[in-house]
Structures are given as C-alpha cells and as structure tokens.
Amino acid sequence: MIARVIARIRSLWRGVRHRDDVEAGLDDEFRLHLELRAQDLVRTGLSPADAARQARLEFGSTERYKDESRASRGLRRIDGLRFSWLDFKLGFRMLLRYPGLTLVGGFAIAFGVWVGAGTFEFLSQVVSPKLPLPDGDRIVALYNVDIRKSDREPRAIHDFERWRRELRSVEELGAFRPLERNLNVAGATGEPVLVAEITASAFRLMRTPARLGRTLVDDDARAGAANAVVISHAVWQARFGGDPAVLGRPVQLGTTPGIVVGVMPEGFGFPLAHDVWVPFRLNALDYERGAGPGIGMFGRLASGVRLAEAQAELAVLGQRASIDFPLTHEHLRPRIRPYARSFMNVEGASAAILMSFNLPVVMLLVLICSNVALLLFARAATRETELIVRTALGASRGRIITQLFAEALVLGVAAAAVGLAAARFGLQWAFDTLVPELLDGNPLPFWFRSSLSPATVAYGFLLAVVAAVVAGVMPALKITHGVGVQLRSATAGGGGPRFGGVWTTIIVLQVAVTTAFPAIALFVHQEGRRIETHDLGFPANQYLGARVELDREAAFTQGDSTAAALLARYSRTVPALERRLEANPAITAVTWVDKLPRTYHGWTQIEVDEGAVQPRDPRGHRVSVASIAPDYFDALGTPLLYGREFHSGDLAPDVRTVIVNEPFVRRVMGGRNPVGRRVRYRDGERMPTLERGENDAPGPWYEIIGVARDIGTTNGWGRAGIYRPVAAGGAYPLHIAVGVTGDARSFASDLRDVAAELDPTLRLYDVMPLSAVTDRELAFYAFWVRGTAAVSGVALLLSLAAIYSVMSFTVSRRTREIGVRVALGSDPRRIVTAIFRRPLTQVAFGVLAGAIFVAFMVTQVSAIGAAVEPLHQRTLATEAWKVVLVAGYAVLVILVCLLACLVPTRRALRVQPIEALRVDA
C-alpha cells in the first residue's frame, strides 16, 4: 500500500512538474497505436487512407483517454485549481469597483501585516543576530568561563596576549575595554559618552573605512604616541555640529587629552554601541595573572576554519594554562562564539519560546481577515447570478474558489506592500525612540537595524497569502456550497447563501473586541495620568535632578578592591560638589537620594512588630525603599506630617531609624499611628537599604520616627514607602536634587560645568527637572495607549463595515419578501424588526461580552488597588464612575453600530412590490 501511495505521488509530481512532456508522451503513444492498427488493416486489403480512418473509429476519442489519464494521476484536480491572468485581472477590477471594501479590507490586512512583520523582524534580530559587516558571520568573541560561578571571567589580559601569539584559527585577534567618560570639547559642556579602548585590529576586522580622516592604527598604541581619538557619526553631529574641519580638534575624555583623527560612518558602533574609540594600551606586565581590568576579545575565523575547530584549538590552550597556572586557571574554560551571540545568546527552547510570540500576531491577523472574509462574502453573494451561470457553463467548484482566492490574494498582496512599508518606519521609530526609553536611555547594539530582511519580506507576503486564504477561501467555500441547489431554486426567489454560525461568531467577537480594547486603553491612560498628575507637594519644575557617577576602569566584580577605592573617592567628591553648589546664590537647596521621586523604587517585604493590618501575602507587606540625605524633606520643602526628621545622629552605624510615608500608614497600619513601631526585612527582592539577617533570617529592627506625605515613592501599584538616612556619598550611585530659583532646566549646563570644574571624572546622567523624570515611563504608557487605540480603530472600522454588509446582504436577499409584506399592509416597524432582529442581537451579545471582560478587568484592578489602598479608604464615587464609563461606552458602541444600519434600513422601507417582483422575474 505504501509503495502504491509513493508511486501515485511520484506520478502526480511528474505530471505537474513535466506537464508538457507527459502530454507529448500521450500523443506519441496514441499515434503509435493508431499507426500499428492502420498497418494491420492495410494488410487485410484496405487502402492506407481507409485503414487510418477505420483505426481512428475503432480507437475512439483520444481526448477522452487523455482526460482519464489526467484523472488517474490527479491532474484534473490540479487543473481545477490553476490560476490564470484573467483571475488576477478581475481581482484588480474588483479593487476599483468596490473602493469602500478595498480601503477597509486593505487597511485591516495591512495593519495585521505591519504588526506581524515588525514583530517577526525584531524577534529574528534577537534570536539570530547578524553583524552587518563583511564576513560578519565569521567574526567571533573569545572569553573565559569560571565553571565554579557559571559566569564569565573578564580579567584576561594575560590570556589575550598568549592567544594572540599562539592561536592560529582566529585572525586579527583584538581586545577592548569598555569605559564611560565625559567628552569635553572647548566651548561646550562635557557630557558622558561610551568609550571603547580598543586595538587597531578592530577596524581591519570590520573593514569599514572612516567617513572622515582615518581609523586607529597599531602605531597609535605605542608609548609616547599622541592620544588619537575616533568619534562616531552621532557624536560628530551632536558635539561638533557636523563640522568637516573636526579633524585635529583637541578633546578631553575625563582627564585624558586627545586629538580627533577620524569620524566613523553612521550606524557604526563596534564593539556594542560605542561613541568614541581610543588606542588599547593595557600591558599584561602591569598586572598579576588573573588580575587587571575586565576586557572583551574578538577576531575572525581563519579561512577554511570552522567554529568547532577553533573551539578545539582554544580548549587545548586552556588546558595548558590550567596546568601552567593552576591557581588562576584551574576553573577557567575558554569559549568562542559568534560575536553577536556572545552578547545575546538565545538558543534552543528559549529561541522557540521567543519566536512563538509571533503566534498571537498570526491569530490577530486571522481574526482581522475573518472580518474581511465577511465583507468579501457579502460581495460574493451579490455576484450569485454570475457564479451560477459560470457553474451552468461547466466551471467546477474548485475553479470558482480559485478565482475568488485570486481576487483576495490581489487585495492581500497590495495590503502587504503597504504593511511592510509601515513596518519599516515603525521599527525605525521603535529603535530610535521607544526602545531607548524602555532601556533607560541605553542604545541597542549597533547590529540592530530597522530595515527589513528578505526573510521578513517573505514572511509578510506569506501573511498576505494566509489573509487571502482566510478572507477568500472561507467565503468561497460558503458561497459555492450547494451551488446546484441554488441553480434550481434561483428562479423561485429563494435559496442562496446565508449567514451561519461562523459568521455570527465573528461578528460577536469583533464587536466584543471593539468594546473591550478602547476601555483597556482608557484604563492604561488613566494610570499614566495618575503618575503624571501626582502632587509631589513641592514645585518639581524648580528642582534639577541628575545621577552622579565617577569614572572607573570597569564594572565592579565580587571582591574587587577598586570598588572600595571608588566609594571612598565618591564619599569625598559628592560633599565637595554639594558645598560648591550651595555657594551659588541661584541655588536654594541641595539634597541626595538613591531614587528620585516618581521613578521606579525597588521593593522589599517587611513585618511590623505590632499594630499592622494582616497582609495579603503571608511573607509580609510589600513596600518601596529609598535612601535619602537627612535634610531631604527640608530641602524639598515638604515637612513631615508628624514625628521628627532625620539628623546627623541617625547616620551612626548602630542607629537604625526610618521614616514612612502616608500610604504606608493607610496600607500597612490601617490608619493607626506608626511612630514608635518597628519594622524589619522579611523576604522578597534583595535591597541594599534594609539589612538581611544571617541565613535568610529576618534582619534587625528599625524604629519608625516620622511620617511623610507621598512624594512619589512608586513601584507599580505599591506606593507604601520607607526612607532610610544615608550620608552624601554613602551609597553608589546617588541622585542629586538641586533647588534653583526659576526654571530648573536652564541650570542644567551650569550644573555640568560645576561638576567638571570640581572633578573631570564626575559624570552626570539624566540631567532634567524633577517634573520630567517620569517621561520615559509615561512614554511606555503612551505606547500602549496608541497600540490599543490602533487595534480598537481597526476593530471598530471592521465592525461597522461588517454590520453594514450584513444589513445590505439581508435586504438584498429578502427583497421579494419585503415587497410582498408591504403589499399585504404589514407595519413597517414590524418589517424592520423582523429583518434586523438577528444582526442587532449579534451586536448586543458582542457588546455584552466586551463589557463583561472589561468588568472583570476592573474587578482585578480594584483588587490590586485594594492591596495598595484598603477599600474602606476608597470612596464609592471613585469606583462608580468606572462602571458608568464602561456602560456609557457600551451604549456608544451600540449607537455607532446602529448608524451602520441606517442606509440598509431606509433601503428596506423603500422596497415596492412591483420592484420586488421585477427583481425576481
């Protein structure tokens, strides 16, 4: 049986792939049979002409035998599904003949392709990152892994020198050290930039010439050579105004002077997303083995060498090092990986899970196209006579389905082209605006591109094919079902296609989405407005905030002695900065905090010795924690509600005091006075501001000495907060809050100048008024509002178009019935009710389903809100308006849907008996 199936499949495949050869073979075989029979007849005495005629009569119709051969191979079914240029030509005509359906359906499909292609491109770049460089797939990263910690060991300056000498499978082996420095230019305020101290081999490896000047060369790393500096295109534009005479300009990176020797082209950011490149001058002789700053290494696989071969050679070098230097290398294992994957390693199940995020997008497209199918079904129903005539003339059902699919495919491909263009610009906006906001201002790696890959373009058009199958084949199957019965009953004024349960479900689901999505967008917008309009109790626009950091050689590692040295220098520099600022007459106050008001605060779980309400979580109440200077509340002009503020004595190591905010009193204490009560660390996220006990036991007790008003200690839904005192420079990093006379934004450059004059290594990030610190978080909320609003708009547009199509279809199918009932004197209101009862019921069920979903969401949100603010503190008015809003929106959706019924209703009431009989004649 299996052999027969395989043989049949091979026969079908040969018939499809070599159709002309099969047809020619059949002709040759039939001609041979006729010639042999004619020769036999000639031997009986017939003339050649009579013998040929007699042979043809005996053999019969060759076309019938060919058709039977095609049927045996399955080719007749293939023929029924073949496209012709006329199908697509008719599809283009339909786009112009029905402009309303073209715009609505095309916009809907384009929206689905836009979301789908954009999602696919972004996920593809995360799962399969590729360097946009010559031989980018052969560029690799090398590093050591400490198998005891299951983590990288970046201190590998000695290994770099050894690998560069002995490793043969990797060419242009280089290294870099990531730094952050203030870039100071004459006549401009210094600002932090990402610097790569890098070997010159990087630029040979990248094969990317400089836009202006030159890149780094090996001689730049020699002792005594001038400090060459190469800058990015973005820095050239932002800090030098795109001046073509920038070459030779002196600059200063922290405390190190340099000369600009080149400008890289736009988009270049190797090794990650760096702005400035300087020569790599680290010498292994200056450090003990296993010590020194952390570095990264890179190179290109030698010609003909595979990654596994390079890993094998590197493993041999690692084994030798573990034997030669057991104290430092016994637990180190060298690794080599594709360069981009060394930073973003998403493989196996993780990659599959990540790419599965495309499934909801495909489901959204199917939902959208199901509604487009409803529109195309209504259009196809108006062409019922045409389809019946084609069937009567011999067109098969498959041929008609193919034609309708081709028409939908034309619409889908046109929409896909628009959707792909939108996805291209959408990714550009997301990479330039949204993603940096979500990454707290950090840029994406340079290999992320907003352009669409060929795979994404193919995926977009594949989505168009899926859309055409859903929107074209589904209505085609429905419209051609029982076409013979339709042919017999057409003259009787009945029959024809009807809307069934599938279409009813689509309408109900679409109206439900139309109802629910805008309500969700409204609630998200409400949360954003709550953050934006929260009253801090002080003029936030008169306070300038900034994160203050110092230059350091590399990121801290466990047990790193440089961390203690940095903190010691930080504790000396920060108070000096405070004193200089206070000497400025334009400054009214200076204070410090580890998290600025209205920014995300980490949380911890605490318990209170007595008097607290029972927490919902058995592990304890979840609260925000912040470390503040003792004069924090006084500097902001927000005196405590009761209790006392911190003073210098609270900074003593053996003193443990805290201040809580007003939401803490409501949520944790149930409105009772917390002063004198004690709190301690319980469980949850590890926070540096509350001490953990040994072996995860509860930490020491802290006494509550005062209650402050809520000045923005937010952490999602939780607003209960605890403040601990910290000395200026006692934690790293801290945020400074500077009160000024007038608009704080105008003092930003002065603040940078004061910091640079005090210490060039002092870097200020996110210098902005405290009134603007939530801009990034609000941008995220705004993105979700715009996204849900866009989906809602598509859903609403499709709902209106679908309801209008249903109504128009209903009137056209029941024209004769309406005319007869009008002639018999029926009340027009009863006619309208009878005709539109089902569509209006569908709309009502959809609105009800959407309202139930929104009510469920409101209930969940209220439950979460109750955990933040107990229900007895929430007034009935604050909750009732949500119910009224949802009900009002549901009524609005019904009214809008009724507007879609207006034109078909008027058409139904104007049907005259004579007109109805003429239609059926």
3-state SS, 304-359, equals CCCHHHHHHHHHHHHHHHHHHCHHHHCCEEEEEEEHHHHHCCCCHHHHHHHHCCHH
Q: Which of 105-119, 298-312, 547-561, 709-723 has the lowest mean pLDDT?
A: 547-561
Eight-state DSSP code of residue 432 = I
Task: Report helix, strand or coil for 226.
Answer: coil
Q: Rounded CA gap, 329 and 640, in Å?
A: 56
Max avg pLDDT among 178-192, 605-619, 665-679: 665-679
Question: Which residues, 6 or more positions from 535, have their beta carbon under 8 angstroms from its beta carbon?
Answer: none
Instruction: Write out pLDDT tens, residues 466-488.
Output: 888 888 887 777 777 655 555 45
- For residue 921, what pLDDT is reported? 44
Of 298 and 344, more confident: 298
> Binning pLDDT at 50, 70 and 90, where does residue 721 land?
confident
Q: Which of 223-237, 296-310, 682-696 has the lowest mean pLDDT?
A: 682-696
> Binning pLDDT at 50, 70 and 90, where does residue 491 land?
very low
- For residue 519, what pLDDT is reported? 67
The average pLDDT across 561-589 equals 87
Residue 120 has pLDDT above 60, yes or no: yes
Q: What is the pTM of this model?
A: 0.73
The average pLDDT across 225-248 equals 93
Would you call the peptide bond into 334 cis, given omega within 30 degrees of 0 as the criterion? Answer: no
> Binning pLDDT at 50, 70 and 90, where does residue 618 land?
confident
How far, CA to CA in Å, does 725 sit from each of 633, 651, 665, 697, 899?
11, 6, 19, 23, 63
Instruction: Write out pLDDT tens, residues 427-468.
Output: 887 777 767 666 666 778 888 888 898 999 999 999 888 888
Q: Rounded CA gap, 296 and 153, in Å?
A: 10
- For residue 235, what pLDDT is reported? 94
Residue 406 has pLDDT above 90, yes or no: no
Residue 559 has pLDDT above 70, yes or no: no
Q: Is residue 511 a contact partner of residue 843, using CB atoms and an 8 Å limit?
A: yes
Of 793 and 653, more confident: 653
What stretch of H or E contains 771? none
Eight-state DSSP code of residue 141 = E
- For residue 311, what pLDDT is reported? 94
Mean pLDDT, all residues of the chain: 79
Task: Report helix, strand or coil for 800.
Answer: helix
Residue 570 has pLDDT above 60, yes or no: yes
- For residue 674, what pLDDT is reported? 93
The average pLDDT across 97-122 equals 84
Eight-state DSSP code of residue 186 = T
% the chain with pLDDT above 90: 27
> Binning pLDDT at 50, 70 and 90, where does residue 535 land?
confident
Beta strands in 511-635 (DSSP E): 543-550, 587-593, 603-608, 621-628
The average pLDDT across 551-566 equals 61
Q: Which of 65-74, 147-156, 840-849 has the lowest mean pLDDT?
A: 65-74
Residue 46 has pLDDT above 80, yes or no: yes
Q: Rounded CA gap, 798 and 101, in Å?
A: 10
492 class by beta-carbon count within 10 Å (0-12 exposed, 13-18 middle, 19+ buried)? exposed
Please give the distance of CA 628 from its chain centroid, rounded to a whole number: 36
How far, CA to CA in Å, does 738 sit from each of 232, 543, 768?
32, 5, 10
> Binning pLDDT at 50, 70 and 90, where does residue 83 land?
low
Eight-state DSSP code of residue 725 = E
% the chain with pLDDT above 70: 73
Residue 489 has pLDDT above 60, yes or no: no
- For residue 900, what pLDDT is reported? 64
Token pair for 449: 């591109």
Please give the distance of CA 337 from its chain centroid, rounded to a whole number: 26
Of 691 and 309, more confident: 309
- For residue 612, what pLDDT is reported? 85
The average pLDDT across 779-799 equals 70
525 class by beta-carbon count within 10 Å (0-12 exposed, 13-18 middle, 19+ buried)? middle
Residue 865 has pLDDT above 60, yes or no: no
The average pLDDT across 866-889 equals 53
- For residue 11, what pLDDT is reported? 59
Question: Which residues, 6 or more positions from 93, have their beta carbon under 8 angstroms from its beta carbon?
Answer: none
- For residue 164, what pLDDT is reported? 92
- For residue 279, what pLDDT is reported? 95
Q: Is residue 577 a contact partner of residue 731, using CB atoms and an 8 Å limit?
A: no
Residue 691 has pLDDT above 90, yes or no: no
- For residue 494, what pLDDT is reported? 45
Residues 301, 304, 308, 312, CA torsion sign: negative
- For residue 811, what pLDDT is reported? 65
Residue 174 has pLDDT above 90, yes or no: yes
Of 28 and 548, more confident: 548
Of 76 and 428, more confident: 428
Of 743 and 637, more confident: 637
Residue 829 has pLDDT above 70, yes or no: yes
- For residue 883, what pLDDT is reported? 63
325 class by beta-carbon count within 10 Å (0-12 exposed, 13-18 middle, 19+ buried)? middle
Q: Rounded CA gap, 510 and 515, in Å?
A: 9
Q: Is residue 705 a contact partner of residue 644, using CB atoms and an 8 Å limit?
A: yes
- For residue 908, what pLDDT is reported? 66
> Binning pLDDT at 50, 70 and 90, where does residue 408 land?
confident
Residue 873 phi, psi (nearest 5): -95, -10
Instruction: Write out pLDDT tens, residues 349-383.
Output: 677 777 777 787 777 777 777 777 777 777 776 66
Residue 49 has pLDDT above 70, yes or no: yes
